[in-house]
Amino acid sequence: MPRARHREIPPTAGLPLRWRDLLPGPGDLAGRIARQLGTPALQLECSGTAALTVALHTLRRAEPHRTTVVVPAYTCPLVAIAVHRLGLQLRLCDLRAGHYDMDPDCLREACREDTLAVVPTHLAGRVANVGAALDAAHRVGAHVIEDAAQALGARDRGESVGLRGDLGFFSLAAGKGLSIYEGGLLLARDASLRERLRRDSAACVPRRFDWELRRSLELLGLAALYRPAGLGLAYGRPLRRALRRGDPVGAVGDAFAPTIPLHRVGRWRRAVGAHAAVRLPAFLAALAEQAGRRIQRLRRIERLHVYDDPPQAQGTWPFLLLRLPDQRSRDAALERLWTSGLGVSRLFIHALPDYAYLADRVPQAPMPNARDFAARTLTVSNSPWLGDEDFETICRTLERVLG
Ligand SMILES: *Cc1c(COP(=O)(O)O)cnc(C)c1O
């Protein structure tokens, strides 16, 4: 019998809002985050995807003969949708076997004279191999855009992610750490590129009262329901309904609309984010501490792989990313845990070529390592609301499945 669910743990550790965050105030969200991360000025856009869209638009204006964007074959479908919306071609790069990084040989092969940008992705807050992307991209004159949508606060060689590449972006979407329901921060190392990004955004991105009203109401809903007692309604119920009808893509929210809203973020939402951001560094430090302890426990489970960072990096920990020996054991673990209310879930359901709804926009080529990654991984929330006892329940379940 499923136990009564008074509590639902979110699948990722978002920073909970407080009522006082909702009071009006100065809206310097981007400035505050830039100071915390030690980056040059960050540019606020209405989503991570919008930030990527502005980045690609600006790069292409300077080099219109470059028409292709190289992305990992396992990433957020929104990345593929953004590339397609701009009229650019997508070129997929398979992953290294068993890893979230792009395979270096595929990467070199994928980067050609027509390549505008390469998008290494800091998946699950883990720090990606940006060096390999820089080597492959710069050899052909292409740019590197670090997808740090899931990695706000992650550091690589002592600096924020997003600074080794030419550009980078963070997401402020619901469930991705600090959230204003939808938002994105765009980062560029070079001052003249930053100025071009700023000008292009000012020229192309309109104020939209309708979108801003909608996002403001959604942010109020998030503030009200993002707690263990409210998430059953906002997250657990739709999840269970989607799984009952055999729709895992719907269950994790991977089915995205074909258009990407582009509009300015209003002052009130900026103020909410700026208020909450004061608590972000301590929150991220607590998550890292909890993840460190829990990884030690998970490592005692045989045949289970826990993803960590390369030695020079300190990622962020919205959730723990685990790889099981095969799809059968992964599915068996999810059978027991996905609807348990304990914050166990999957990252993206498919490799990009395997989403039926993207078939008209994604090149159809076999991507065996990306497909294998999708088939064998699952995620365990690193929310502070997941207590040690519940975490131990998850570990015991994994032990039984793998035993
Ligand atoms: C969420 C996400 C995006 C898109 O960010 P939004 O803010 O949701 O538009 C891009 N890449 C990855 C890896 C993501 O997880």
Ligand 1 binding pocket mutation candidate from 69, 122, 147, 350 (most atoms within 8 A of CB): 147
Tell me how far the alpha carbon of residue 148 lies from the centroid of ligand 1, in angstroms.
8
Residue 140 lies in a domain: yes
Residue 342 lies in a domain: no
Residue 373 lies in a domain: no
- Give the whole-angstrom CA distance, residue 308 versus residue 19: 35
- Of all residues in the chain, the percent with pLDDT exceeding 90 is 97
Six-digit token string for 149: 């949508």
Tell me how far the alpha carbon of residue 4 lies from the centroid of ligand 1, in angstroms.
33
- Strands (DSSP E) found in 82-141: 89-93, 115-118
Ligand 1 binding pocket mutation candidate from 53, 145, 150, 186 (most atoms within 8 A of CB): 150
Tell me how far the alpha carbon of residue 312 lies from the centroid of ligand 1, in angstroms.
24
Residue 266 lies in a domain: no
Tell me how far the alpha carbon of residue 184 lies from the centroid of ligand 1, in angstroms.
9
- Give the whole-angstrom CA distance, residue 284 versus residue 282: 6
Ligand 1 binding pocket mutation candidate from 52, 100, 171 (most atoms within 8 A of CB): 171
Residue 38 lies in a domain: yes
Tell me how far the alpha carbon of residue 49 lies from the centroid of ligand 1, in angstroms.
6
- 325 DSSP assignment: S
pLDDT tens for 190-225 read 999 999 999 999 999 999 999 999 999 999 999 999
**Shortest-distance Cα residue to atom 2 of ligand 1:** 149
Beta-carbon contacts of 51 under 8 Å, excluding residues fewer than 6 positions away, are 43, 45, 169, 170, 184, 185, 186
Six-digit token string for 381: 């929330």
Tell me how far the alpha carbon of residue 76 lies from the centroid of ligand 1, in angstroms.
6
Tell me how far the alpha carbon of residue 75 lies from the centroid of ligand 1, in angstroms.
9
* Ligand 1 atom nearest to 123, measured from its CA: 13
Tell me how far the alpha carbon of residue 195 lies from the centroid of ligand 1, in angstroms.
24
Domain count, the chain: 1
Tell me how far the alpha carbon of residue 296 lies from the centroid of ligand 1, in angstroms.
29
Burial of residue 25, with CB atoms counted within 10 A of its CB: 0-12 exposed, 13-18 middle, 19 or more buried: middle
**Shortest-distance Cα residue to atom 6 of ligand 1:** 48
* Ligand 1 atom nearest to 171, measured from its CA: 7
Residue 98 lies in a domain: yes
State residue 6's pLDDT score. Answer: 73
Distances (CA, A) of 180 to 122, 144, 374: 21, 27, 29
User: In terms of residue numbers, what domain contains 156?
Assistant: 21-204
State residue 2's pLDDT score. Answer: 46
In the chain, which stretches have pLDDT less than 70? Answer: 1-5
Beta-carbon contacts of 40 under 8 Å, excluding residues fewer than 6 positions away, are 34, 187, 188, 189, 191, 194
- Give the whole-angstrom CA distance, residue 94 versus residue 119: 13
What residues flank ligand 1, with Cβ below 6 Å? 47-49, 75-76, 78-79, 121, 147, 149-150, 171, 173, 184
Helix (H) or strand (E) holding 290: helix 280-299
Residue 381 lies in a domain: no
State residue 363's pLDDT score. Answer: 95
Ligand 1 binding pocket mutation candidate from 42, 43, 47, 49 (most atoms within 8 A of CB): 49
Q: What is the CATH number of the domain that holds 113?
A: 3.40.640.10
* Ligand 1 atom nearest to 122, measured from its CA: 13
- Asked if residue 209 lies in contact with residue 183, where contact means CB atoms within 8 angstroms, the answer is no
Residue 219 lies in a domain: no
